[in-house]
Structure 1
Amino acid sequence: MMRILLFLGTNLAVIVVASITLRLLGVEPYLNAQGINFNSLLIFCFIFGMAGSLVSLFISKWMAKRGTGTVIIETPSNATEKWLLDTVEELSREAGIKTPEVGIFPAQQSNAFATGWNKNDALVAVSAGLLNRMRPEEVRAVLAHEIGHVANGDMVTLALIQGVVNTFVMFFARVVAHLVDQFLKSRTDGEGLGFMGYFAVVIVAEIVFGIIASAVVAWFSRFREYRADAAGARLAGSGAMINALARLKAETELPDQMPDTLTAFAITTGRTRKIMERLFASHPPLDDRIRALKEAAYRQ
């Protein structure tokens, strides 16, 4: 969840800043006296939409370290840190990738993430709470899951998907702004939105479409979680991977153990909450993930 939220937040910020800069500089090559040149608009949006995603990808490690307070283990200061480094090195070797940077971040919830712009320049980090509450074989399974994300190239693939999504977010935001501008011109003797009005509609539409489009990215993320679980089971054993997920599930059922991100949107009860959870969740339900691992183990 943390990895995805950091990436999406950075990406949306880059797109909004780029749009503001381009509008202020007057760089809108798709507009002409006849209206919108849709081919030019699509090319324009693809270039800057993909740029926003790639910028997010290339600074993902930097953002993750600072956003979570992750401390990189350069030289182990205790037995736990040495075990972490040795375990990540072993799992990476088995997965056929270069050993990522390894870090610990100061969160009491059991959590972990992996990020980086390619599989041989990645970061894997775990929370202090996870190390305190999980057994070594369960921590190893969580690390194997994150190594699976790295080996599967999930961040790169996510960036490409996000770049395509950005393209259409920017495209439709400008189409909406143009339509509103034309509508107002027909009602106000040709005044329309004006410079600042057009600019404001584009930004608001980008934010709205960006939030909606994040549901597409979330669906893709949920699909990749099953693949990372399978990689974790392969590297650390199905039993350990299932036990680690069961431990996480037990934590989520305790009051005040896991942060409720949807509360910030005033979505607290009822059917609306359930729909929003399903649409925007970056991870599948833990019960579904455990069931998938058990079914895969049974087929073997």
Structure 2
Amino acid sequence: MFKRVALFLATNLAVLALISIVLAVLENVFGIRIATGSNAGLLVFALLFGFGGSFISLMMSKWMAKRGTGAHVIEQPRNEAEQWLVSTVRRQADAAGIKMPEVAIYDAPEINAFATGPSRNNSLVAVSTGLLRAMNRDEAEAVLGHEVSHVANGDMVTMALIQGVLNTFVIVLARVVGRVIDGYLSGGRDSGPGLAYYAIVFVLDMVFGLFASMIAMWFSRYREFRADEGGAALAGKQKMIAALERLSVTYGENTLPKQVAAFGISGAVGHGLRKLLMSHPPLAERIQALRNAPIQPAGGRVVS
């Protein structure tokens, strides 16, 4: 938990520093001043930074994932295993009604896979060498179906939209509340924002940002249940359950870079605040939910 919170605080500090630098450049170099003291100016400012960073990350997601993992994109299969990977993803993509994703392999010891990309028809599905070694073909097929379902459900775009809304909310609320507190502490003097105001806003960015992260992670956990059902529909319910059971006993440490960690596999079990900040539900909950879910296989009958 503390590692995740420390990363969150460091990220927010970087965002605040970036905002300050950009505002200074706009005002001192280009003569453009965003009037964050007014409600309209503050909203423009919040929308710009709230959605800007989120969508830049989305558009760069494939490039960052490839660079961060060292993934090898399969252009021409070099062996039977790569041929199987490509043909399986192509069949599942056709069944899900999406354009064929890029398929990649990256070197990592743990059982893992992820999907990312800016849209349903411009995506990447990657698996670790650890997954290929530890799972049989049925289990690997289910994991691929899970990742293809993330793409088909538009989870990457939805997460970017949710993060943009939450970022905007945090920026606006922190500064509105900051004005009120600063005005109270200064006795209502209208002398403009001082150091106390910026210190208050910084703290509020942290606090409100933490709550925003909880909301984003709640949706991330929800979409994992949906992707499990999608994987079961594409590969078979028992195969998906078997894959999750395999993960529950053999999963290793997640070494994915933070940019795509939420779209990979996680075997973590958390309690209290740690659980609220987890991107994935515990595997035991996912297995039980899938056992209870009626599944409509692609082109088949419902399997309870």
Aligned residue number for residue 280 of structure 1: 277
1:200-245, Cα deviation, whole Å (9 max, x unpaired): 5545543443233111000011111111111100000000000000
CA distance in 2, matches of 1:180, 1:137: 59
Aligned residue number for residue 65 of structure 1: 66
CA distance in 1, matches of 2:199, 2:279: 30
Corresponding residue to 1:296 among 290, 293, 296? 293
CA distance in 1, matches of 2:193, 2:111: 53
How do 1:10-89 and structure 2 match up within 5 A?
Answer: 15-16=15-16, 18-24=18-24, 25-26=26-27, 27-31=33-37, 37-89=38-90
Larger mean CA deviation between 66-75 and 280-289 belongs to: 66-75
1:132-163, Cα deviation, whole Å (9 max, x unpaired): 10001100100000000000111111111111
CA distance in 1, matches of 2:239, 2:173: 46
SS of alignment partner, residue 274 of structure 1 = coil
Aligned residue number for residue 209 of structure 2: 210
Which consecutive residues of structure 2, in runs of 5 or more, have no partner in the other structure? 1-7, 28-32, 257-269, 296-302
CA distance in 1, matches of 2:9, 2:109: 23
Whether the 8 Å CA contact 1:182–1:192 is kept in 2: the answer is no
1:110 CA displacement = 0.6
Aligned residue number for residue 193 of structure 1: 194
SS of alignment partner, residue 115 of structure 2 = strand
CA pair 103-12 structure 1, distance change in 2 beyond 3 A: farther
Aligned residue number for residue 264 of structure 2: none
| Higher share of residues assigned helix | 1
1:45 CA displacement = 1.1
CA distance in 2, matches of 1:191, 1:64: 44
1:17 CA displacement = 5.4
Aligned residue number for residue 270 of structure 1: none
SS of alignment partner, residue 165 of structure 1 = helix
CA pair 279-212 structure 1, distance change in 2 beyond 3 A: same
Q: Is 1:138 paired with 2:133?
A: no
Aligned residue number for residue 258 of structure 1: 253
1:181 CA displacement = 3.9
Which consecutive residues of structure 1, in runs of 5 or more, have no partner in the other structure? 1-7, 32-36, 262-272
1:64-119, Cα deviation, whole Å (9 max, x unpaired): 11222222112222221111111111111111111111111221111111011100
Letter in 2 for 1:185: S
Whether the 8 Å CA contact 2:34–2:41 is kept in 1: the answer is no
Aligned residue number for residue 242 of structure 2: 243
CA distance in 2, matches of 1:133, 1:101: 23
Aligned residue number for residue 172 of structure 1: 173
CA distance in 2, matches of 1:201, 1:66: 37
Could you tell me the TM-score, scaled by structure 1's length?
0.80
1:293 CA displacement = 1.3
Whether the 8 Å CA contact 2:9–2:206 is kept in 1: the answer is no
Letter in 2 for 1:28: I
| Same amino acid, percent of matched pairs | 46
Q: What is the number of residues matched between the two proteins?
A: 271
SS of alignment partner, residue 104 of structure 2 = strand
CA distance in 1, matches of 2:202, 2:71: 33
SS of alignment partner, residue 168 of structure 1 = helix
CA pair 168-124 structure 1, distance change in 2 beyond 3 A: same
CA distance in 2, matches of 1:76, 1:202: 53
CA pair 96-171 structure 1, distance change in 2 beyond 3 A: same
CA distance in 2, matches of 1:190, 1:142: 59
Letter in 2 for 1:171: V
CA distance in 1, matches of 2:230, 2:254: 27
Letter in 1 for 2:23: R
SS of alignment partner, residue 272 of structure 2 = helix
CA distance in 2, matches of 1:11, 1:119: 28
CA pair 289-75 structure 1, distance change in 2 beyond 3 A: same
- Considering only aligned residues, what root-mean-square deviation do their CA atoms show, in Å? 3.0
SS of alignment partner, residue 117 of structure 1 = strand
